[in-house]
Amino acid sequence: MLFAQLSGHVSRSLKQVLMFVMFSVFTFTTLPAYSASKTILVLGDSLSAEYGLERGKGWVALLGQKLQQKNIPATVINASISGDTTSSGKSRLGSLLERHHPDIVIIELGGNDALRGLSLKASENNFQAMIDMVKAQKGKVLLAGMRIPPNYGPDYSERFFSLFGKLAKANKTALVPFLLEGIAEKDEFFQSDRIHPIAGVHPTIVNNVLPNLLPLLSK
């Protein structure tokens, strides 16, 4: 009787151990691997530089907080400057890469090019140069797509918008299809200039970025 009881106890213990091992293996093989800390550099214009906002209320700062809440080890560096164009972004990127060695670069530029009616070909060449610079340092790129009002005609606006998808496809880079998705259609979501979103909708921008960023962080 005692032997039978001991045998039953050992069997139950062995089953518990086996179940724990199987659960551990399943957990660690199905969850994304976020163990290695990543450095994320945001190269943007006023939409990312907290124009008209209290410091720390913009989407870039909120992105860092969101990653921390998710226990994803990452450092977010905001290198955005109001008024930046693709040309000025390109000229700044080399020194930023050398200084920070980012794993991921989010490029949020182009809006000022289009609002000034600049050559789309020149913008495309600048974007391509920035993508090439990041890839040369083994980094990953996330392009933030943008739309503009049809000030220069619908043809120019649509060709500008399609530029982001074209570049992402050609370079096999990640893409946020439209940074202001769910925001651009409502006037009340913008500051008085009708260009810069109010603080209350910047969490929506984070939600637009995050699904396209997380796969890059898990690689």
**196 tagged catalytic:** yes
Distance of alpha carbon 144 from alpha carbon 162, whole angstroms: 12
**113 tagged catalytic:** no
Helix, coil or strand: residue 25: helix
User: Which of 35, 155, 192, 193 is labelled catalytic?
Assistant: 193
**46 tagged catalytic:** yes
User: Which of 82, 100, 157, 196 is labelled catalytic?
Assistant: 196
User: Which of 45, 46, 103, 113 is labelled catalytic?
Assistant: 46
Distance of alpha carbon 23 from alpha carbon 96, whole angstroms: 43
Distance of alpha carbon 177 from alpha carbon 164, whole angstroms: 8
DSSP state of 48: T
Instruction: Report CA dihedral (111, 85, 160, 213) to the nearest 10 degrees.
Output: -70
**Contact in structure between 118 and 160 (CB atoms under 8 Å):** no
Distance of alpha carbon 168 from alpha carbon 39, whole angstroms: 21
Active site residues: 46, 193, 196
